[in-house]
């Protein structure tokens, strides 16, 4: 099989892994070496289907001894197989880099023979790149669950970022769809990577030139929609992973049916992209807005509202916490107001030092008043002439795209909600919230 054929098979097999969008490593070019990495994230872009296409994203092999039901590379799937040698991977990366096609490498693999053997092959490819070709560009490599700690430790010294895919949110789902894997076998390497990164940061304080272990940290990927797991389960797991393992990012991948299996959604099922989007929004709230998973969802309402983003849903479910007085509210409270983001909250704090703010000033500071107006006061007063009704509120909180999908009447109705709207909302977001008026 020639290189082009292999490349075609092994890049196509890698495209379902989404955990590759950012870098976070900063390393400048050096004489005698080739490449650099930028902390803003290696130049990344997205294909029409939303997947990252920036790095040379390739598998070492798509042959696998495991049989995960959701995976196109599972051993029981009759697909064309191919494998690169470490030399071929290193060569290909250098050729692509020199031609300016890529700025780094995302290398994963099916499990050949054993997790240890596979990891040894990954190490061989990365050693060639780093030590023979002096490649200093960004490398993201998959850590193979079940591989020996010593091997994973060597791998981490060659890569910028490592990731171990958790794939499914619960042990029950893993048992059903990935019987060769266990939650423990996935969490163990995550724990090892975390402790190696911590160890490495104290080494770097003592020895400036100590080799760096996965300087861009670790990430993981979760498949959404292949199993009945709820958003609540996924978000709780997300929160735990960020706290316990210090992950830099968790990527959510809307399940795209690629294989027929009675345990999985039918082949003509559309990937739940909106659900994936809501999870990314909620993930952002956990990382930068001080929210906890249990504030956004619970067992009674375990899935996100398809029509409103998680922050707006939270706000209309917690009307008792509003309105917020812009001239007095602490930073953490400002962040919870729909229409106020991290930057506008910071600007408000700064501007307040010079004097009281009114609605005009807020607009100039970047606050999205269309959303925020229902939840704030300035100098004790709401926006002059603000008319509050169910449809006005919803139209203001929904994005253009959401509105297009769900046409609300232009004119304010005197009656309560349309049945169609009520049907689309999760139960916990309806009577308890909108019925109160604003
Ligand atoms: S171990 Fe990875 S490559 Fe192998 S079947 Fe499972 S998901 Fe696919």
Spatial separation of the C-alpha atoms in residues 269 and 286, rounded to whole Å: 30
Closest residue by CA, ligand 1 atom 5? 74
Domain match, 269 and 350 both: no
**How far, in Å, is the centroid of ligand 1 from the Cα of 430?**
42
pLDDT number for residue 222: 93
The answer as to whether 263 is a domain residue is yes
* Ordered per-residue pLDDT tens for the chain, 438 residues: 888 888 888 888 777 765 555 444 555 666 666 655 554 333 454 433 444 547 888 899 999 999 999 888 999 989 899 999 999 999 999 998 888 888 889 999 999 999 999 999 999 999 999 999 999 888 999 999 999 999 999 999 999 999 999 989 888 999 999 988 888 889 999 999 999 999 988 888 888 788 889 998 999 999 999 999 999 999 999 999 999 999 999 999 999 887 888 888 998 999 999 999 999 999 999 999 999 999 999 999 999 998 899 999 999 999 899 999 999 999 999 999 999 999 999 999 999 999 999 999 999 999 999 999 999 999 999 988 887 777 778 877 887 666 666 655 554 443 333 444 444 444 333 332 222 222
What CATH number is given to the structural domain containing 279? 3.20.20.70
Domain match, 331 and 396 both: yes
Contact residues for 157 (Cβ-Cβ < 8 A; gap 6+): 211, 212, 213
What is the DSSP secondary structure assignment for residue 114, as one 8-state letter? -
Ligand 1 site residues, Cβ closer than 6 angstroms: 64, 66, 68, 71, 73-74, 110-111, 178
**How far, in Å, is the centroid of ligand 1 from the Cα of 380?**
58
From 234, 266, 296, the end of a domain falls on 296
Domain match, 292 and 315 both: no
Domain match, 9 and 125 both: yes
Domain match, 275 and 167 both: yes
- By most ligand atoms within 8 Å of CB, the mutation choice from 72, 74, 75 for ligand 1 is 74
Where are the extended beta strands (E) located within 62-175? 104-108, 138-142, 161-163
pTM above 0.85, yes or no: no
Spatial separation of the C-alpha atoms in residues 271 and 292, rounded to whole Å: 27
- By most ligand atoms within 8 Å of CB, the mutation choice from 69, 78, 110 for ligand 1 is 110
Ramachandran class of 140: left when φ > 0, alpha when ψ lies in -120 to 50, beta otherwise = beta
Domain match, 65 and 211 both: yes
**How far, in Å, is the centroid of ligand 1 from the Cα of 279?**
24
Domain match, 218 and 337 both: no
**How far, in Å, is the centroid of ligand 1 from the Cα of 72?**
8
The answer as to whether 191 is a domain residue is yes
Domain match, 144 and 33 both: yes
What is the DSSP secondary structure assignment for residue 321, as one 8-state letter? G
**How far, in Å, is the centroid of ligand 1 from the Cα of 160?**
23
Domain match, 288 and 316 both: no
Which domain covers residue 409, as residue numbers? 310-434
**How far, in Å, is the centroid of ligand 1 from the Cα of 110?**
6
The answer as to whether 302 is a domain residue is no
Closest residue by CA, ligand 1 atom 6? 68
144: tokens are 């193979």
Domain match, 200 and 265 both: yes
The answer as to whether 131 is a domain residue is yes
- By most ligand atoms within 8 Å of CB, the mutation choice from 19, 64, 174, 255 for ligand 1 is 64
Domain count, the chain: 2
The answer as to whether 221 is a domain residue is yes
**How far, in Å, is the centroid of ligand 1 from the Cα of 74?**
6
The answer as to whether 188 is a domain residue is yes
pLDDT number for residue 427: 39
Domain match, 347 and 394 both: yes
Query: For residue 110, which atom of ligand 1 is closest to its CA?
Result: 3
From 236, 268, 296, the end of a domain falls on 296
């Amino acid at each position: 099989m020639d290189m082009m054929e292999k490349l075609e098979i092994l890049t196509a097999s890698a495209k379902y892994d989404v955990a590759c969008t950012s870098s976070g490593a900063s390393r400048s070019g050096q004489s005698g070496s080739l490449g650099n990495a930028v902390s803003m994230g290696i130049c990344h872009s997205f294909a029409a289907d939303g997947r990252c296409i920036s790095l040379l994203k390739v598998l070492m092999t798509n042959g696998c001894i495991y049989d995960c039901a959701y995976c196109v590379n599972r051993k029981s799937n009759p697909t064309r197989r191919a494998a690169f040698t470490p030399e071929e991977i290193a060569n290909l990366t250098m050729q692509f880099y020199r031609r300016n096609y890529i700025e780094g490498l995302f290398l994963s693999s099916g499990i050949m023979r054993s997790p240890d053997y596979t990891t040894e092959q990954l190490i061989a490819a990365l050693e060639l790149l780093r030590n023979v070709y002096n490649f200093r560009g960004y490398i993201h490599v998959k850590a193979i669950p079940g591989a020996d700690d010593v091997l994973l430790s060597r791998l981490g010294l060659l890569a910028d970022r490592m990731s171990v895919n958790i794939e499914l949110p619960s042990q029950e789902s893993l048992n059903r769809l990935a019987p060769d894997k266990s939650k423990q076998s996935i969490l163990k390497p995550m724990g090892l990577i975390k402790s190696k990164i911590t160890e490495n940061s104290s080494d770097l304080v003592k020895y400036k030139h100590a080799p760096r272990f996965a300087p861009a940290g670790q990430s993981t990927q979760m498949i959404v929609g292949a199993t009945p797991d709820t958003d609540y389960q996924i978000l709780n797991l997300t929160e735990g992973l960020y706290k316990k393992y210090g992950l830099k990012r968790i990527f959510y991948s809307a399940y795209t049916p690629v294989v027929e299996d009675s345990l999985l959604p039918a082949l003509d099922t559309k990937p739940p992209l909106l659900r994936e989007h809501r999870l990314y929004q909620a993930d952002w709230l956990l990382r930068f807005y001080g929210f906890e998973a249990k504030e956004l969802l619970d067992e009674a309402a375990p899935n996100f509202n398809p029509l409103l983003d998680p922050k707006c849903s939270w706000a209309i479910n917690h009307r008792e916490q509003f309105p917020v007085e812009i001239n007095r509210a602490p930073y953490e409270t400002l962040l919870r107001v729909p229409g106020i983001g991290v930057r506008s909250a910071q600007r408000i704090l700064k501007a307040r030092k010079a004097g009281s703010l009114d609605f005009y000033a807020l607009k100039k500071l970047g606050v999205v008043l269309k959303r925020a107006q229902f939840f704030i006061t300035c100098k004790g007063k709401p926006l002059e002439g603000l008319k509050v009704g169910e449809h006005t509120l919803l139209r203001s909180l929904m994005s253009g795209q959401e509105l297009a999908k769900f046409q609300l009447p232009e004119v304010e109705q005197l009656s309560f909600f349309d049945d169609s709207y009520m049907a689309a909302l999760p139960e916990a977001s309806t009577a308890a919230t909108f019925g109160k008026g604003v």
